[in-house]
Structure 1
Amino acid sequence: MLPLATFPNLFPGFAGPLEIIWWVLLGIKLVALLDAAFRPRAVFVAADKLTKPGWVLILAVFTLSQIFQGWLSFFGLIGIVAAGVYLVDARPALRAAAGRGRGGWGAIRRRRGPRPL
Structure 2
Amino acid sequence: MGLSVPSVWLNLDYYLSLLIWVVAIPVGLYAFIHALLQRADAFTAVDKLTKPAWCAITGVGALLLVISFGGPVSGFAILWLVALCAVLVYLVDVRPKVTEVQQGGRW
Q: TM-score, normalised by structure 1?
A: 0.66
Match of 1:82 in 2: 86
Aligned equivalents of 1:96 and 1:16: distance in 2? 37
Does residue 1:63 correspond to 2:62, yes or no? yes
Q: Which runs of 5+ in 1 are unaligned?
A: 1-14, 104-108, 110-117
Match of 2:21 in 1: 22
Match of 2:4 in 1: none
Q: Which runs of 5+ in 2 are unaligned?
A: 1-13
SS in 1 for 2:25: helix
Do 2:25 and 2:65's aligned partners in 1 also have CA atoms closer than 8 Å? yes
Do 2:35 and 2:51's aligned partners in 1 also have CA atoms closer than 8 Å? yes
Q: TM-score, normalised by structure 2?
A: 0.72
SS in 2 for 1:91: helix
RMSD: 2.3
Q: Which has the higher contact order (CA 8 A, sep 6+)?
A: 2
Kindly state the Cα deviation for residue 18 of structure 1 after the two structures are TM-superposed: 3.2
Does residue 1:92 correspond to 2:96, yes or no? yes
Q: How many residues align structurally? A: 90
Kindly state the Cα deviation for residue 80 of structure 1 after the two structures are TM-superposed: 1.1
Match of 2:3 in 1: none
Larger radius of gyration: 1
Percent identical = 31
SS in 1 for 2:103: coil
